[in-house]
Structure 1
Amino acid sequence: MNPFKPNRPPSAALTARAEIPTPVVANGVATLRLYDVIDAWGGDWGVSAGEFNAAIDALPDGITEIRLLINSPGGEVWDGLAILNALRAHPARTIAIVEGIAASAASFVAAGCDEMVMSRNSEVYIHNAIGYASGDAEVMRAAAEDLERLDRNIASIYAEKSGKSIEYWLAEMPKDRFMTADEALESGLADRIEGADSAPVARAHFDMSMFARPRGDRSPRAALSELPSSTEPGDPNRKDDLVAYEDLTAGLRERLGVTETTLTDEQLLAALDESLAERAEPDPANPAAETTPVVTSAPEGSVIVEAGAFAELQRQAGLGATAHANMQAQRHEGIVQNAIEEGRIAPASRAHFLAQLGRDEAGTVAALATFPKGTIPVAEIGHSESEAVTDNQRLAAKAGWGTTKKEA
């Protein structure tokens, strides 16, 4: 039950600013609401640990249970930890109830309570800590170490709640996982789900696009520039070839009974080779003769493929890998050519940036986007004398100077 519903009687009316936690107390139970960004500034920027903990400190004596209603995109790690520890320090039993979403810092605040309850259709979102730094290599290394320490600290909260290891959660957090109520319960973060099955889908209207990691990279979406369109040099986006390649690899996985979809081309080919080797054992009595192995039974989930068809699949997989490499090279050429035409880099730097794209495409694209346009002149500066000479010759011809035509 949400005591903050607008149809409550005027005597229990709250302030218009929902982000300031104003407790509702009844029968020894205090209900607080965390419905905004967790931010150290507080005020219009969100709810700070100072504001939230002041509300906890003001609770009357005799409170035996604190119910924390959550619909928050999270925010600053340290303020989130301060809120969590204030709840831990209070003698009352704490119950976090996720009503919309408990994301980022709000997720470990919820997980750190004595009980975490998911409302029907609510969600949890976990990810690695994000920070920003400016300085030399030493500063950047220190910033990276700080973030890794924070990740382990956050993972320890999930681990204590779920019974899974810290390493398990350190492996899950980089995936930027959105978990449904059922998935949160299955993972061990949530203790139970409450609410009617017919309840409408509850989603928070918070913009969390900064956390998104397109194509699996670790750079915030805002730092990435768009890849060249298909009209740019090199024809980098070839949808038909890409679809055919994906169909081919999907067919290989299906025939081999492989459920893992993140295998590289090399790993998929290795699986093909291994399966072929297992099916093509030579006859010791007649090694020169071509034999067909007799298969009495196949492991569950396996698919038996005729040797010729299997060899053809290998050949097609090799062609698919080559096509994929060619498409990637064309895309990289298009990215560099576009940067040159926009005057971001010099043509002499082409080979350098092509090599950088091969090592870290997302990071290089982001770096190119930071270079101002027009830094390197790409338009013609001045004119050669050949054009002027041509004009002079044309004028001389009109005047009849230097003509070789003879009059009759």
Structure 2
Amino acid sequence: MASWYAIRARGTGAEVAIYDEIGAYGVSAKGFLAELGALPEGTPVDLRLNSPGGSVFDAVAIHNAIKRHEGTITVWIDGIAASAASYIAMAGDEIVMPENAFLMIHDPAGLVMGTAEDMRAMAEALDKVKGSLVSGYAAKSGRTPEEVSALMASETWFDASDAVAQGFADRLIEPVRIAAAFDIGRFRNAPPVLVEAIEAEPEPDDESDGEVTVATDDVADGDQVEDAEDEQTAASDAPRPPAETPPPCGAPPDPAEIRAEAIGHARAVVDLCRLAGQPQLAGRFLEADASLDEVRAALLAAKAESEPEIASHHPQPGRSSAARPWGEIIARTFKLKG
């Protein structure tokens, strides 16, 4: 199944890319943390971000893990670092933004269904999470917690220059081609330049499923990523990010196709579990990245092992022991007189 992150070794360091919604496709941060923890101590890491955010709980765990990493963490915001993704960025030792990139911070949000107590519990959890986020943003930017809290409450977008000026980023580089294959319509204060770019895009075809690609032409399409070894041997010039940075596992797959495949798979798993009367198993199968054949086999095995539940208070097939023969009933009902 698709994932929203990729980690690979490059030269003497490692490259980590988060190029989609954090926690998407049923893939939690657990795998990310395991792969990051497997890197040798002291490994320098280039963390590349182009994400609309996602699970704030996963983002907090990732932020803390990156802070614990002994090696130098350089964050490259290759397009958009919004919501939870911007908090992950704050864990870097240096945050680098192309001039046409964006960073956004806002209050955490969540969904809950249940009683008033359930909703109060969610509100308390969100308040605690916001406290953690405020601390991280304030520590990086040098702004007071009160200032950061106000910026979050109003969903504040920073272009690269503003982010550096406000302390949320450290260095500007030349603009790059930005490919943002996710919907920014979920945000209430998206920058007009992004909105205009979206409106200027041609109508999506059948494969794009309504997703948007935001691009600028400041850098030629043919520019390629320099290898880590070349970056280390380069002269005093700082390493430049790629003109169109793909996820670090070869040619970037079509995000719309990946999303549609993942959603279709998840729906099929849920439907199978419901039909088998085991809806509670769907989450376990999705987390394990089980194929549909594996799901069917597991459900059939569970069905075969289960025994029918027969309770004495349930009506059973056949004649009850208390039933009387029809002849006796007729005789008692139509008793002859005389």
- Judged with a 3 Å threshold, the aligned counterparts in structure 2 of structure 1 residues 61 and 25 are, in CA distance, closer, same or farther, namely farther
- Judged with a 3 Å threshold, the aligned counterparts in structure 2 of structure 1 residues 147 and 57 are, in CA distance, closer, same or farther, namely closer
> Residue 21 of structure 1 contacts residue 55 of structure 1 at CA under 8 Å; is this kept in 2?
no
| 1:128 matched to 2:112 | no
Alignment gaps of 5+ in structure 1: 1-15, 215-408
- Judged with a 3 Å threshold, the aligned counterparts in structure 2 of structure 1 residues 173 and 91 are, in CA distance, closer, same or farther, namely same
Aligned to 2:29: 49
| 1:73 matched to 2:41 | no
Alignment gaps of 5+ in structure 2: 191-338
How far apart, CA to CA, are the structure 1 residues paired with 2:103 and 2:189? Answer: 17
How far apart, CA to CA, are the structure 2 residues paired with 1:81 and 1:127? Answer: 14
What is the Cα deviation at residue 62 of structure 1? 5.5
What is the Cα deviation at residue 135 of structure 1? 3.0
Aligned to 1:35: 19
Aligned to 1:171: 150
| Greater relative contact order (Cα < 8 A, sep 6+) | 2
> Residue 110 of structure 1 contacts residue 116 of structure 1 at CA under 8 Å; is this kept in 2?
yes
> How many positions carry a matched residue from both structures?
190
With 127-136 and 168-177 compared, the bigger mean Cα shift is at: 127-136
Q: Secondary structure at the match of 1:134?
A: coil
Q: Secondary structure at the match of 1:23?
A: strand
What is the Cα deviation at residue 143 of structure 1? 2.2
Match 2:180 to one of 179, 204, 211: 204
What is the Cα deviation at residue 122 of structure 1? 0.8
Aligned to 1:157: 136
- Judged with a 3 Å threshold, the aligned counterparts in structure 2 of structure 1 residues 136 and 71 are, in CA distance, closer, same or farther, namely same
| 1:96 matched to 2:79 | no
- Judged with a 3 Å threshold, the aligned counterparts in structure 2 of structure 1 residues 168 and 22 are, in CA distance, closer, same or farther, namely same
How far apart, CA to CA, are the structure 1 residues paired with 2:131 and 2:40? Answer: 36
Looking at secondary structure, tell me which structure has more helix per residue.
1
Match 2:10 to one of 19, 25, 28: 25
> Residue 95 of structure 1 contacts residue 117 of structure 1 at CA under 8 Å; is this kept in 2?
yes
| 1:140 matched to 2:116 | no
| 1:84 matched to 2:63 | yes
Aligned to 2:172: 193
What is the Cα deviation at residue 61 of structure 1? 5.4
Q: Please tell me whether Structure 1 or Structure 2 has the larger radius of gyration of its CA atoms.
A: 1
- Judged with a 3 Å threshold, the aligned counterparts in structure 2 of structure 1 residues 61 and 146 are, in CA distance, closer, same or farther, namely closer
> Residue 63 of structure 2 contacts residue 90 of structure 2 at CA under 8 Å; is this kept in 1?
no
> Residue 5 of structure 2 contacts residue 16 of structure 2 at CA under 8 Å; is this kept in 1?
no
What is the Cα deviation at residue 55 of structure 1? 2.2
How far apart, CA to CA, are the structure 1 residues paired with 2:38 and 2:100? Answer: 33
Q: Secondary structure at the match of 1:22?
A: strand
How far apart, CA to CA, are the structure 2 residues paired with 1:155 and 1:62? Answer: 28
> Residue 104 of structure 1 contacts residue 126 of structure 1 at CA under 8 Å; is this kept in 2?
yes
> Residue 101 of structure 1 contacts residue 203 of structure 1 at CA under 8 Å; is this kept in 2?
no
RMSD: 2.3
How far apart, CA to CA, are the structure 2 residues paired with 1:59 and 1:173? Answer: 33
How far apart, CA to CA, are the structure 1 residues paired with 2:123 and 2:103? Answer: 25
How far apart, CA to CA, are the structure 2 residues paired with 1:213 and 1:25? Answer: 37
Normalising by structure 1, we get a TM-score of: 0.43
> Residue 7 of structure 2 contacts residue 36 of structure 2 at CA under 8 Å; is this kept in 1?
no
